[in-house]
Structure 1
Amino acid sequence: MVKKFQDHSVLLTISEKKIEKFILSLILIQLAIDAISGFFSLYLNFTSSLSLLYKIVILLVCLIYILGRGGMASYLMLAILSYGLILLITNLFQGASLIPTDFSEYVKLITPIIIFLSVSSFKYIDPKRYIVKVVLFSSLVILINICMSLIGIGTSSYGSYGMKGFFYAANALSGVICIIAAWAFTIAIEKGRAVYVLSCFLFLLMAVAIGTKSGILAVGLLSFLLPVILRKISTGSVYYLMITSGLLLISLYYYDIIINSAIIERLVYFYDTGGLTRAILSDRNEFMDALFPYFLGLSPIDLLFGVGYSGLYHFPKPLTELDPIDIIMMFGIFTMLLYASFLFFILIKIFRLKRKFSNSINIRNLSTNAILVSIILIGMSTIAGHILFNGMTTIFWGLALSLPFWQKNYSINKRVK
């Protein structure tokens, strides 16, 4: 009897390990699939659904994994899916033609939660080694796409400037850069100052090449804040001085090129015509000012549960491109409160885990990383948009949120063995 139980336990372990490997393999190459999908769309003259189908596969496998394991996570997932169904039924009163779009946007919105609920229970694969693979592979994919744009293949981020290769959305790519840079910086800090400074320079270069304000600001903040938070203030200050001194020297050398670049011209134009607010938000505040009065004039039910895409098309402009505002208008104030509460709950759990396992450098660093990345991503979504409604970014965000718990499970499982 004991032997049969042990054999069953071994088979279950092998099966779970294979599922973990499969899900993580799918997540690892998702950025490459996005680029390939963009190539098909751009050069083969047809709209490629490869990227969408691939993300659906990732989410379906994760859902099957969550529901198959049972427990609180499965009940929570069923509640989230049921709530989504209620929202879709409510949005039917605005018109049925865009219900598939509403469903798609809701799935994008809950993607980090699906990834979190699945990956946070992993325990057989080494998370630190996996993240190194993600950083190296994803950085290579992004660099190849930037190089493609440099030689005239692919697309630009904004008209005549910004290099994003075959990727569709520059802001979403900036969100990905933010997450990958945070992982890279966390790994590099442990390797020494030279490796850290080199990685900061590389990711700042990629952010500047892509050309979004939010991406450059996010990587710049991470390069300063992570060493300050993960180490001591004095050590972080040394890193910061080294980085800023190097960037200052480069900026002085290439002053004429930088000051006459398209991104600076765009910022100056927005500042001259609308002040600091327009320079930061690029007219998105005007979109919000135009749309929000229409939204506030809706019925109490529509205010609570939104009007979906069909309802938004009755407004002067469908979206503000400020993600929190778009969530409120599309899915309602109540949905936004639920979403914000759930994210806050996850971040509190991560903070408590960090305090409980303060002696584990891996859990501590990954927890700090997840909290800081989440704050920056929410900030990016507020000023630039295309973050919370983009699967390319939200899959990696869900992974970042789950890493501290995955690391804890892996460490405990390793000790038990």
Structure 2
Amino acid sequence: MTGKFNSVMYTDILKWFIIFQPVLDILTLLSIYFIDLSITVGIVFRMLFMLLSFVYIFFGNDSPYKKYVIGYLILLLAVLGLGFLGNIFLKPTFNFFLETQWIAKVVYFIVMFCAFVLVFTSKESYRAVKMKLLSAVYIAASIVVASILLSILTNTSTNTYEWVKDGYKGWFYSGNELGAIIAITAPLLFIFAYKKTNTWKDSLNWLPLFALLVTGVLLGTKVGLFAMVGTLAIGVVILILHWLVETRKNGMKNRYMISTLLAVVMAILFGVIAPTTPSVTNLSVDMPIPEKDNIATGPDSGEDGESMEEAEERQRQEEEAMRDEDGEIRELPAYLDSEIVNKILSARHFYFTRQYHYYIDAHIYQQLFGMGYAGNYTEVRKTIEMDFLDIFFSFGVFGAILIFLPLIMVTVAIIRKLFSDFKQVLNPENIFLITSIMLGNGIALIAGHVWFAPSVSIYFSLAFVLLLYNLYQPDLEELSGQ
């Protein structure tokens, strides 16, 4: 690339943009609480960066995959554009701003995924770029941890739950998004820490990771608890196994011994601290469970600053939205009508039922290209807050296939390598990346706020591309000339 704007410059900008992510999230809280802006600071800066990424994708790189990435983006935007135009005429209620914002949020993940693919397959050294971006994630996560702990110490932290349960989300607006960020970045910090550890002097690299794990359970959510426990358990097991393999090859005192011992010590300390944190104590607290014919609890009821009165009013409106033309509330499918399902999904299955009926009754055009934001609502608009289902109902069969293409690519890559190069899949770095992606998709499926959350999806897309590159590294390096 001969122009001034190239992969080296974009990578440097990208590094600082990742580091700046927690600051954007804190500014978002301030803009909502004190200025009451409909468009937050975070959205403005992230959309501007997405435009910059478009410029990089089309004009600023020399990757051999450039034409494929551009073709994919054009096809995706065309399909989403057809859905958008169709909904202008087919939706009972069409809000231009909400529909545009909804599309922009999911496109952000795709654009960042494409930009990362081109960054890692350009002429600049992959390993140098990888460590540069992982160090940016490391710094960003450290800022998250420091800000939350400081907010708790100064008694300025916002509460994850307004009522019934406990939890701290610091100076961040959305507890769900913060939990997803912590869950997805924790395995990435594991990679950075163990790669940077060669002697005992490098032990300090593990402190931000341990602090992030503790912060995850201070949040008070089930997502934070299970994600931190799962990440820590996988980390300890995979490092022990890798250390044993390296010991057979190189003797007892190999570089992985230090990382393994540090991970074990970290797990023991976490096990001592975790039982006293909100995520564990909240397990014994039950949110109100809705009766079969009454939607009394909705997704995140009482969370993210919502008062009991606001939750009750919203739930009343949502109950009205579930009624059919005769005024009767539509029955849930039998397999969804249980207290266990409600406890896991926090009543999101009620909103799935509504969207499902919208979809069944929709025009064939909407079934193929999507019903847009919140489906074919008339007055009360409410998404399911389960990303996979929201993507399918919002963007239809064609849109969902194209949006999920990165996930399909990663899944196919893992399956192929399991049969052709099993050891490569079990590399510690790849296990941590798979863990990050699985946690992100698990949260997206059950609690949402991953694919549609730009503050989360930048880390999520990085994990996707790092894993893809690691699995196909020999072929890509040969093609890219690295």
TM-score normalised by L of structure 2: 0.71
Secondary structure in structure 1 of the residue aligned to 2:168: strand
Structure 2 counterparts to residues 9-158 of structure 1, below 5 A: 15-47=6-38, 49-68=40-59, 69=61, 70-93=66-89, 94=91, 97-122=94-119, 123=122, 124=124, 125-158=128-161
Q: Distance in 1 between matches of 2:10 and 2:161?
A: 40
Q: Distance in 1 between matches of 2:154 and 2:266?
A: 29
**Deviation, structure 1 residue 56:** 0.7
Q: Deviations over 1:341-398 (max 9, x none)?
A: 442114434776899999999x955443333222221111111112221110111111
Q: Deviations over 1:190-229 (max 9, x none)?
A: 4389779756642231111222211221222111124434
Secondary structure in structure 1 of the residue aligned to 2:217: helix
**Deviation, structure 1 residue 97:** 3.9
Q: Distance in 1 between matches of 2:29 and 2:390?
A: 25
**Deviation, structure 1 residue 151:** 3.1
**Deviation, structure 1 residue 133:** 3.0
Q: Distance in 2 between matches of 1:258 and 1:134?
A: 26
**Deviation, structure 1 residue 92:** 1.0
- Asked whether the 8 Å contact 1:278–1:285 carries over to 2, the reply is yes
- Asked whether the 8 Å contact 2:219–2:278 carries over to 1, the reply is no
**Deviation, structure 1 residue 291:** 4.0
- Asked whether the 8 Å contact 1:204–1:219 carries over to 2, the reply is yes
**Deviation, structure 1 residue 170:** 1.0
1:400 aligns with 2:403: no
Secondary structure in structure 1 of the residue aligned to 2:431: helix
Q: Distance in 1 between matches of 2:442 and 2:267?
A: 23
Secondary structure in structure 2 of the residue aligned to 1:155: coil
**Deviation, structure 1 residue 31:** 2.4
- Asked whether the 8 Å contact 1:322–1:381 carries over to 2, the reply is yes
- Asked whether the 8 Å contact 1:146–1:164 carries over to 2, the reply is no
**Deviation, structure 1 residue 146:** 4.5
Show the counterpart of 1:287. Answer: 351
- Asked whether the 8 Å contact 1:207–1:215 carries over to 2, the reply is yes
Q: Which amino acid aligns with 1:34?
A: D
Q: Deviations over 1:112-159 (max 9, x none)?
A: 221121122225353213312321233223431353255332521111
Show the counterpart of 2:306. Answer: none
Secondary structure in structure 2 of the residue aligned to 1:389: coil
Q: Deviations over 1:2-44 (max 9, x none)?
A: xxxxxxx7x5598431232123322331221121221232234
Q: Distance in 1 between matches of 2:365 and 2:459?
A: 33
- Asked whether the 8 Å contact 1:306–1:333 carries over to 2, the reply is yes
Secondary structure in structure 2 of the residue aligned to 1:162: coil
Comparing 278-287 with 168-177, greater Cα deviation is found at 278-287
Structure 2 counterparts to residues 270-349 of structure 1, below 5 A: 275-309=339-373, 311-314=375-378, 318-349=382-413
Comparing 238-247 with 176-185, greater Cα deviation is found at 238-247
C-alpha change, 1:155 and 1:327, in structure 2 (3 Å) is same
Q: Distance in 2 between matches of 1:360 and 1:334?
A: 33
C-alpha change, 1:47 and 1:271, in structure 2 (3 Å) is closer
Gaps of 5+ in 2: 245-258, 292-296, 298-337
**Deviation, structure 1 residue 251:** 5.7
Q: Distance in 1 between matches of 2:167 and 2:79?
A: 39
Q: How many residues align?
A: 401
C-alpha change, 1:199 and 1:311, in structure 2 (3 Å) is closer
- Asked whether the 8 Å contact 2:176–2:449 carries over to 1, the reply is yes
Q: Distance in 2 between matches of 1:259 and 1:76?
A: 41
Q: Distance in 1 between matches of 2:445 and 2:69?
A: 29
Of 156, 166, 173 in structure 1, the residue corresponding to residue 171 of structure 2 is 166
Q: Which amino acid aligns with 1:383?
A: I
Comparing 234-243 with 104-113, greater Cα deviation is found at 234-243
Q: Which amino acid aligns with 1:176?
A: I
C-alpha change, 1:117 and 1:138, in structure 2 (3 Å) is same
Q: Percent of aligned pairs with the same residue? A: 19
Q: Distance in 1 between matches of 2:339 and 2:352?
A: 17
Comparing 60-69 with 239-248, greater Cα deviation is found at 239-248
Q: Distance in 2 between matches of 1:132 and 1:356?
A: 31
Q: Distance in 2 between matches of 1:260 and 1:20?
A: 40
Q: Which amino acid aligns with 1:80?
A: L
Q: Which amino acid aligns with 1:307?
A: M
Q: Which amino acid aligns with 2:96?
A: I
Structure 2 counterparts to residues 337-376 of structure 1, below 5 A: 337-349=401-413, 364-376=427-439
Q: Distance in 1 between matches of 2:184 and 2:280?
A: 30
1:178 aligns with 2:169: no
Q: Distance in 2 between matches of 1:110 and 1:43?
A: 29
Show the counterpart of 2:325. Answer: none
- Asked whether the 8 Å contact 2:11–2:129 carries over to 1, the reply is no
Comparing 80-89 with 36-45, greater Cα deviation is found at 36-45
Gaps of 5+ in 1: 1-8
Q: Distance in 2 between matches of 1:81 and 1:90?
A: 14
TM-score normalised by L of structure 1: 0.80
Of 166, 189, 194 in structure 2, the residue corresponding to residue 189 of structure 1 is 194
**Deviation, structure 1 residue 232:** 1.8
C-alpha change, 1:265 and 1:287, in structure 2 (3 Å) is farther
Of 268, 285, 290 in structure 2, the residue corresponding to residue 266 of structure 1 is 285
Q: Deviations over 1:307-333 (max 9, x none)?
A: 223744238662222222222222223
**Deviation, structure 1 residue 183:** 0.9
Q: Which amino acid aligns with 2:146?
A: L
Q: Which amino acid aligns with 2:116?
A: V
Q: Which amino acid aligns with 2:283?
A: I
Q: Distance in 2 between matches of 1:166 and 1:393?
A: 16
